[in-house]
Every structure is written in structure tokens, then in C-alpha cells.
A and B are shown apart, each in its own frame.
Chain A
């Protein structure tokens, strides 16, 4: 019954993506506005979904892979809607919508059952840690799409490079917050703020890649293509931090 909101969001994201694609070939401004309305509908629907799930479960819905994917799909759309309204760059809109659609789609393949929290997750840090991480991930995803499109474009649109940078700056700040809240939480749950657990190590690796991006950009003037490649690399590291660590490696952070 609850999943109706998930389906509505999926349909809304899908429709938004279709309109964003049409916008690439047809002129009228109306198309992109329709797409934005659908994207916002998707965000609202996911908000309702998460709100109800929160109410039913009696805890924030941020505790496993399924719930985190929903948050991820929600955050990508929220971050992107601001970029879309500010920059109005057609070429990245459809691929970003596709990314959030894929995220939501993969969530729907997982078990949606609401289960009780493990003792380790019963903490106020859960909400702040997961939210900061996924806002960061979402911004870095938009940066990745922007960098990727920049790389395959024939006539390079410098705005895409600028969007990548802005999103990486924002995403880096939130990634930092995510790592820090994780460290503080680990210290209050286990008495160690850093234990080189695979999740911690990979988050640091991702952080390093983006730190390199910022340094080469600020001090060595790497812009455009070279910077875009670092952004792609950073995104791959981020994906591994999120999925690879959970599915391929074993460690403390086995929830999502």
C-alpha cells in the first residue's frame, strides 16, 4: 500500500526524463518546465513515502540498502533541480534524470520490508550521518554526469565544467561531513573514531580523489578535460564506497 508512492515517484521521474529528452530535440521552453514539474512531483512523492515509512517504522528510514537507495534517488533529484533552474543546461538534465531513475529502479528490486533497527544503528547520528553522506553522493553524481557529458561533447560547453566544479565543492563538503559524523558516531558507539574498516578506508580514498581534483584545479589550473577525468575517477571511487564495500568486502558497515 505504501509502495504506491514509490510507484508514483518512479512514474514521475520517468516522465520527467522523457520530457528532458524531448527538450533536446524540440525548442519550446514548456517542455523543460513540464519536466521540472514532474521531477518535483517525484521528489514530493518520495518525501511522502519516506515520511510514512518513518511513521510506521518509528525510526528514520535510513537503515539498509533499499532505504538508502530511496534517499539517494530523492537527493539526486533535489540537488539537480537547483542546478537545472540556475543553469538550464539541457544536455545533462536527461542523463541525471536517468541516474535517479536507475537508482530508484534498483531500490525497487530489493526487499522493501520494514525491519527493526540493529542495536548499532540506534542512535541520533543515524539521520545526520546518512543524510550528509547522501547529499554529498548526490552532488558528486551530478558532477559526474556533467563531467561525462563534457568529455563526450564535441563543442565543449564550459558551463558543464563549472557545474562539475560547483557540485564537487558542495559534494566534497558533505562527503567531509559524512566522514566526520561517521567518525564521531563510531567513537560514541565503539570507542574508536577510525579503525581502517573498508567503508572508512574507501570513503577516505574517495575523499582523496576529490581533494586531488580541487588541488589540481586550484593550483595547477587543470580545467576542462583533465579535471573531468578526475571527477569520473572520483565517482567510481564513490560508487565502490557505496556498493562495492557492502557487496564485495566485509566489515563493520554491513547495513548499507
Chain B
């Protein structure tokens, strides 16, 4: 009996099988999006309970897209496609679109297999100043024939136009509460001045940027912003101010106030504690109107070193990886608490080019099926 007439062959070349496979893969993919994938077991247990977790863990739905039965469905779909291609397709122009679009799926999956077997993918957390020359991929140490130094990691933010330093004339008020209560409850602090700051017109409105300065109306005073820290901290012994992290837990501005006569005072203004500076500066009331800053850029400044020579410097950003020696380095993570390191994703994937070729074939095939074939038929 010729192979094409065997039952097995007919089964694998049927469209019915293809439709069932597509349906099942779709349904299992749905499950994979409803149950968070690849999380810690304690997270699952607290969410679903122990018994349900055991069932999930055994069936593989917690890592569904790599579960053997899910991968088998994909493999079966490939087999189905391959048999169909072998069985039905001949080199007729009419069938070119169908041929290409179906072949493309096999090409894409072949590309992903190449990546799986011959690709390398790892993650490296590099401290500023540190140099790496290897990384871990699939539990194996991969040595690079060059090294990479992280010179600096920079986290940039967008300053919202609403973020301003406002200067008001000092209104004679009864001495306010001792500052201790302010620090404890900042909410009550704001309400203690019954909206006076809001109602009055400020003498000066200074957009927040280090170095920006302004005259305070016609008082002859000048104010200048010297420094911004998102998370104010002061060393008690040295009086050195630092930022504990990049999180805006206690945003503060250091300003310089220069009087007509050239007297200079510098002090800190806090967004959360608007009264603290009054101890030092009595002529004006300052209000630091803080606004949420959105991330602008994450930049890892790196240097490629080979044979003791600095070959290349590059700013690695999201959407702008470093490509060198067959490897790509992607900006992947950082820590807002300590901006002293950067996490880079290191990838070498020889399958990508095959996958992209598959993408091209797929689009070409679809265009032929939907738009070229009808034109040919009409003739």
C-alpha cells in the first residue's frame, strides 16, 4: 500500500487534526495566562492552597509552555503541517501562497529550536567598576573572548512641569507647632496652615532643575537650586547629606538664598515637611511642590576590552543594546534602592535570522493568498 493511503498518513494530513490542535493549543495558552507562570511555590500555595498547588505542579500548568504535553501538541502541529505540505502541495503558482505561509510556520519553529539548542542566554549583574568576561547560560559557564566593564549606571528621570519651588512672603503667624509633630504627621502639618500657601500668589515660581535660579520678585533676593535628593539622609557626625536611594521617599532641595547685600544662606527644603526650613530662613516661606517623576532612561556606560585594549565604549539602553563578538547585551534591570549596579541580559541566538526569514515568508504567503491569487483568478 502506498504511504499516502495508510490510515496513519491520512490522520496526520487532515485539516480536522489541525483545527483540533489549534483549538487545544489556544485553550492551554489561555490557562497559561490565567495562572501566573514560573512563580515561587509559596506564592502559589498562598493563592490556591496546598492541594490545588500539588495538582498544578504535577500537571505542569505552572510552567505550561514548557510542559511536555504542550510541547508535544506543538510538535504534533508541526508534523501535521509537514505531512500536509508533503501531501497536498505541488509547485503550482496557485498554491504558492499556501505553501509559503505554511512552510513559514515550520521555518519559525525551526529557528526557535536552533536558538534553544545553539543559543546562549544569560543574565549578569555587574557592579559599577566591575569587569566581566563570562556569564552563566543554561547552568553552564560561557567564557567570552573579551571583557566588559561597567563604568557607570545612570538612572534619568523626567521632571514633571508641575514640580516647582514656590516662594511666598512670610505671613506673621503665631509660632507653629514644634517641628517634632510635623515629622510624625505630615498630613496635619499641611492643614495647619489653612490653605494660606495655596490662596496667596507666590513671589517666585522656579521650575525644579539643579542650577536654575530666580529673583524673588523685587525684594532683591536671589534663590538658586543647588541640589536634589530623592531620599534625604544626613550623616549625624559629618553633616554630609546623601540620598538613601533613588526612591522619592523624602525628596528635598538644597537652595541658596542670596540677599541684596550678598549674604548667602544655604538650607534644605523638604516636600513632605514644609516648615522645617523656617528655623533658618525667616524672610520667606518656601514650598517645594513635588510631582511624581517618570523614568526617562536607564543607561549602562560600558567599555569593551580585548587583549588589554579598550576597543569600544557604548551606552547600553533599553532599545539600544551593545552588539559585540556575536553577543548582544541588553539593559535588563537595576535597583532603585542602590543605583550602583546594572543587570544585563546577554544573548547569542543564531536562530533569530531563521525566525525572521520565517516571518517574511509568512507575510509574503498571506499577501499572495489574499491579494495576488484573487487577481490571477479574475483574469
Q: Which A223-256 residues have a C-beta within 8 angstroms of B?
A: 245, 249-250
Which of B112, B318, B328 gathers most chain A CB within 10 Å?
Answer: B318
- Interface 1/0 per residue, A153-193 and B, CB below 8 Å: 00000000000000001101100110010011001111111
Across-interface contacts of A169 in B (CB, < 8 A): 369-370
A212 touches B347 (CB 8 A): no
B26 touches A172 (CB 8 A): no
Select one of B22, B36, B321, B359 contacting A212, CB under 8 A. Answer: B22
Cα separation A218 to B369 with both chains bound (whole Å): 11
A205 touches B29 (CB 8 A): yes
A interface: dominant SS: helix
Given A116-B158, A190-B345, A205-B29, check contact A184 B356 (CB 8 Å): yes
Across-interface contacts of B15 in A (CB, < 8 A): 215, 219-220
Given A119-B297, A191-B330, A205-B29, check contact A215 B352 (CB 8 Å): no
A189 touches B345 (CB 8 A): no
Total CB contacts across the A-B interface at under 8 A: 96
Across-interface contacts of B158 in A (CB, < 8 A): 116
- Least Cβ distance of B109 to chain A in Å? 11
Across-interface contacts of B173 in A (CB, < 8 A): none
Given A119-B317, A191-B328, check contact A208 B26 (CB 8 Å): yes
Q: Which B262-316 residues have a C-beta within 8 angstroms of A?
A: 294-298
B interface: dominant SS: helix
A201, CB-defined interface residue at 8 Å: yes
A20, CB-defined interface residue at 8 Å: no
Chain B residue nearest in CB terms to A125 = B319
Given A191-B328, A191-B330, A215-B15, check contact A119 B319 (CB 8 Å): yes
Chain A residue nearest in CB terms to B157 = A116
Cα separation A193 to B356 with both chains bound (whole Å): 10
Select one of A173, A177, A192 contacting B370, CB under 8 A. Answer: A173
Given A116-B158, A202-B33, A208-B22, check contact A188 B363 (CB 8 Å): no
A82, CB-defined interface residue at 8 Å: no
Given A173-B366, A173-B367, A176-B366, check contact A205 B37 (CB 8 Å): no
Across-interface contacts of B321 in A (CB, < 8 A): 188, 191
Cα separation A148 to B25 with both chains bound (whole Å): 26
Q: Which B227-279 residues have a C-beta within 8 angstroms of A?
A: none
- Least Cβ distance of A241 to chain B in Å? 10
Given A169-B370, A189-B319, A209-B26, check contact A119 B295 (CB 8 Å): yes
B203, CB-defined interface residue at 8 Å: no
B362, CB-defined interface residue at 8 Å: yes
- Least Cβ distance of A149 to chain B in Å? 23
Across-interface contacts of B22 in A (CB, < 8 A): 208, 211-212, 215
Across-interface contacts of A184 in B (CB, < 8 A): 356, 359
Across-interface contacts of A180 in B (CB, < 8 A): 359, 362-363
B193, CB-defined interface residue at 8 Å: no
Select one of A115, A122, A250 contacting B319, CB under 8 A. Answer: A122
B91, CB-defined interface residue at 8 Å: no
B345 touches A191 (CB 8 A): yes
Select one of B36, B328, B370 contacting A170, CB under 8 A. Answer: B370
B93, CB-defined interface residue at 8 Å: no
Chain A residue nearest in CB terms to B355 = A193
B298 touches A119 (CB 8 A): yes
Across-interface contacts of B60 in A (CB, < 8 A): none
- Least Cβ distance of A143 to chain B in Å? 13
Cα separation A191 to B329 with both chains bound (whole Å): 8
Across-interface contacts of A116 in B (CB, < 8 A): 158, 294, 296
Cα separation A129 to B346 with both chains bound (whole Å): 25
- Interface 1/0 per residue, A210-222 and B, CB below 8 Å: 0110011001100
Cα separation A134 to B346 with both chains bound (whole Å): 32
B363 touches A176 (CB 8 A): yes
A196, CB-defined interface residue at 8 Å: yes
Chain A residue nearest in CB terms to B20 = A212
A120, CB-defined interface residue at 8 Å: yes
Cα separation A201 to B370 with both chains bound (whole Å): 25
Select one of A120, A170, A173, A205 contacting B318, CB under 8 A. Answer: A120
Chain B residue nearest in CB terms to A118 = B295
Q: Which B87-118 residues have a C-beta within 8 angstroms of A?
A: 112
B356 touches A189 (CB 8 A): no
Q: Which 6 A-B pairs have the closest CB atoms?
A: A191-B347, A116-B158, A198-B33, A119-B318, A123-B319, A169-B370
Beyond known contacts A187-B352, A196-B29, A215-B18: 6 more, CB 8 A cutoff: A116-B158, A183-B355, A189-B330, A191-B349, A211-B22, A215-B19
Give me 30 A-to-B residue pairs in the complex whose CB atoms sit less than 8 angstroms apart, sorted by A's number: A116-B158, A116-B294, A119-B297, A122-B297, A122-B319, A169-B369, A170-B370, A173-B363, A173-B366, A177-B363, A180-B359, A180-B363, A183-B359, A188-B321, A191-B321, A191-B347, A192-B121, A192-B347, A196-B29, A198-B33, A201-B33, A202-B29, A204-B26, A204-B29, A205-B26, A208-B25, A208-B26, A215-B22, A216-B19, A220-B15
